[in-house]
Structure 1
Amino acid sequence: MKKYILTGLSALSLLVTTSGCLQDKGYTDIINAVGAQPIVSIFGSGSGNKVLGVDFKTTPVATELFSVNLGSPAVLTSDVTATVSVDPTLLTGTGLELLPADTYSIPSTQVTIKAGQRDVPFVVNINSSKIDLKKSFALPLTITAASGAIIASNLKSVVYAIKVNNVYAGNYQSTGRFEHPVATSSRDINRSKTLSTIDATTSETEFADLGGSGWTMQLRINADNTVTLIPTGNANASAKQAGVNKYDPATKTFTLNYSYPGAGGDRVITETIKKK
């Protein structure tokens, strides 16, 4: 099953983006197979550095990361094989740790491009439930050998920073009411929100309707499905529970009641956040 592969997430912006760059000559070499030599590569946008978003699952999920491409002037009449290996040296200077061996498996490191073909997918089985969500892991891969072709030196490597989404992450609709001591400042809440993963039981989203001011909050689901609200970002650190805070797993809905102090009295928020 193919997963979404995202680029440029700020949480992992320390990835160096120069490796695997598509240089003009490299591009010409692959398209025209300079010297009539077939060339294998992780072609185009498949190489370089990526952020791989995977959902939290308790069983391994087959994930197609990229395709190994064969460049040649004409379709070949014989098979070409390429070996893809884990290369920890690609993580030097990135601040990322090598994905632990017990969190993934590679069904076959050897890819065979059959005669008449151009691309073959490379698949990894990822067991996201075994990944420590508090750490920044990556899977670095390189084409290390080829039979029947040469390797494109500048399009042979890729680093996947792994971003695991917990079961609560996703897009939600928020409805509710923001009560302010000044009546004219009170208002209804009706807006889309995104919950992003902090760890297996905690997600972060905007605080009430104040996301534009940098106010955020973390929602931690406890064993009894009560919710602990933690103000983050620019949110008032004195924000507190002001009623029932709970999560309904059947409807994927958060029911929140919270408040924070300010001039003239507390601001009180009643909010329902339901997954779309």
Structure 2
Amino acid sequence: MKKQLITLLCAGTLLSGLSGCLNDKGYTDLINAENAQPVVSIFGGQSGSKVLGVDLSTTPVDTKLFDVNLGSPSKLGQDVTVTIAVDPNLLKGTTYELLPTNTYSIPATQVVIKAGQRDVPFSVKFNTSLIDLKKSYALPLTITSANGAVVATNLKDVVFGIKVNNIYAGKYQATGTFTHPTAGPRAINREKTLATIDATTSETEFADLGGSGWTMQLKINADNTVTLIPTGSSNTSTKQSGVNKYDPASKTFTLNYSYPGAGGDRVVTETITRK
């Protein structure tokens, strides 16, 4: 199956490559295990390749990754033990590096589907504070064996690209004013997304010019002042023109900045508040 990446942040999203997998072996066959052969698989659209968003934390975060499913005509009267392992070979042909072993732990590489049950969760503990946010890491996992059942060869692998979110990442509402030296002021009232750059820096659209490729990074300093760094197509001469700060209580950025252009400076005042 192609390693096309999708986001895991939208719960229930199916893999774009899933239909191709189901052509190999019908999903009904996996659930009902036709021919009376119990089949173990990573449940439905939870297999394949995806990006996993995990929050930055100084303590290990226990994260459920997927369910291991047992398909059979009827529920079995005995336990089925399923073994799961890290498989670096799944990263061949991708741009990902293997997630370093010191950044995660697997509480149990074997999961037991108890007699009479269909599914059991598989979890990993991520030490996200040890992950280098500037690198592209992935955790590739595969079902290697199952006692008392066969392994579905086309629904046994999953590759999780790891995206660590700092505490500022998420959806915000921006309001304010963009004042042009000749065209006058216009209101800013739009939703913005802050994406993680590192533990204290996030990136979002510059004023209301995100559609033109203008972006900015907001770095929160130790005293909660904010350093604004123009990125993308933004004017590199952008400068602070008032107070730039972050209020952790209200989760609000207060920004005042400007950049030069024909006719004079373009001046922006805005507040960006967590939704």
Q: TM-score, normalised by structure 2?
A: 0.90
Determine if contact 2:6/2:49 at 8 Å carries over to the other structure: no
Q: Percent identity?
A: 71
The 1:200/1:96 distance shift into structure 2, 3 A limit, reads same
1:75 to 2:75 alignment:
yes
Query: What SS does the aligned partner of 2:31 have?
Result: helix
Task: Kindly tell me the number of residue pairs found equivalent between the two proteins.
Answer: 263
Query: What SS does the aligned partner of 2:21 have?
Result: coil
Aligned residue identity for 1:114:
K
5+ residue gaps in structure 1?
A: 1-6, 10-16
| Distance in 2 (alpha carbons) for counterparts of 1:20 and 1:151 | 19
Deviations 1:88-143 (A, max 9, x none): 11111211111111111111111110111111000111121111101111110000
The 1:217/1:185 distance shift into structure 2, 3 A limit, reads same
- Aligned partner of 2:140 in structure 1 is 140
- Equivalent positions of 1:45-194 (< 5 A) are 45-182=45-182, 184-194=183-193
Cα RMSD, aligned residues only:
1.9
| Distance in 1 (alpha carbons) for counterparts of 2:19 and 2:66 | 14
Determine if contact 1:20/1:47 at 8 Å carries over to the other structure: no
- Equivalent positions of 1:221-236 (< 5 A) are 221-236=220-235
| Distance in 1 (alpha carbons) for counterparts of 2:267 and 2:185 | 9
* Displacement after TM superposition at 1:60 (Å): 1.1
| Distance in 1 (alpha carbons) for counterparts of 2:119 and 2:109 | 15
Aligned residue identity for 1:81:
T
The answer to which of 24-33 and 195-204 deviates more is 24-33
| Deviant stretches of 4+, over 3 Å | 17-21
| Distance in 2 (alpha carbons) for counterparts of 1:223 and 1:104 | 28
Aligned residue identity for 2:59:
T
Deviations 1:153-212 (A, max 9, x none): 111000000011101111111121111111x44112222211111111111111011112
- Aligned partner of 2:11 in structure 1 is none
Determine if contact 1:70/1:119 at 8 Å carries over to the other structure: yes
- Equivalent positions of 1:32-43 (< 5 A) are 32-43=32-43
- Aligned partner of 1:200 in structure 2 is 199
The 1:127/1:227 distance shift into structure 2, 3 A limit, reads same
Determine if contact 1:20/1:48 at 8 Å carries over to the other structure: no
5+ residue gaps in structure 2?
A: 8-15
* Displacement after TM superposition at 1:43 (Å): 2.3
Q: TM-score, normalised by structure 1?
A: 0.90
1:259 to 2:258 alignment:
yes
The 1:18/1:45 distance shift into structure 2, 3 A limit, reads closer
| Distance in 2 (alpha carbons) for counterparts of 1:51 and 1:233 | 23
Determine if contact 1:56/1:166 at 8 Å carries over to the other structure: yes
